[in-house]
Amino acid sequence: MSEFSIAVTQSNFKKEVLSAKVPVLVDFWAQWCAPCRAVAPTLDELAQKYQGRFAVAKVNVDEDPDLAAQFGVLNIPTLIFFKGGQEVDRVVGVQPKSQLDAKIQKLTGS
């Protein structure tokens, strides 16, 4: 976890994601997942770049399997974009930084 991302669990998901004032990317990941670790630095960079206009939240699927099941997460990393409490986009697997950046720009209007 970095200073630019929020650890999210079933108990704080509504507050941190669904009620967030800014768009949120939720990263469903696990410690043992090499692709998840590979995408983490990119997510940190984007969270820092868009700080205050966009947030990155991380859900550890081993610690919170019910939350992963609730959103139909079958493979990790799964990145789900939320805006106004609704899922608006989803990608599975490692994505190029440019692709994620473009999705965030679209959501933030920047």
Catalytic one of 6, 36, 46, 79: 36
Q: Of these residues, 2, 16, 30, 33, which one is catalytic?
A: 33
Cis peptide upstream of residue 77 (ω within 30 degrees of 0): yes
Beta strands in the chain (DSSP E): 5-7, 24-29, 55-60, 78-83, 86-92
36 has catalytic annotation: yes
Task: Judge whether 44 counts as a catalytic residue.
Answer: no
Q: Centre a 10 Å sphere on the Cβ of residue 50 and count the other Cβ atoms it contains.
A: 21
CB 27 within 8 A of CB 57: yes
Q: Which residues are catalytic?
A: 33, 36
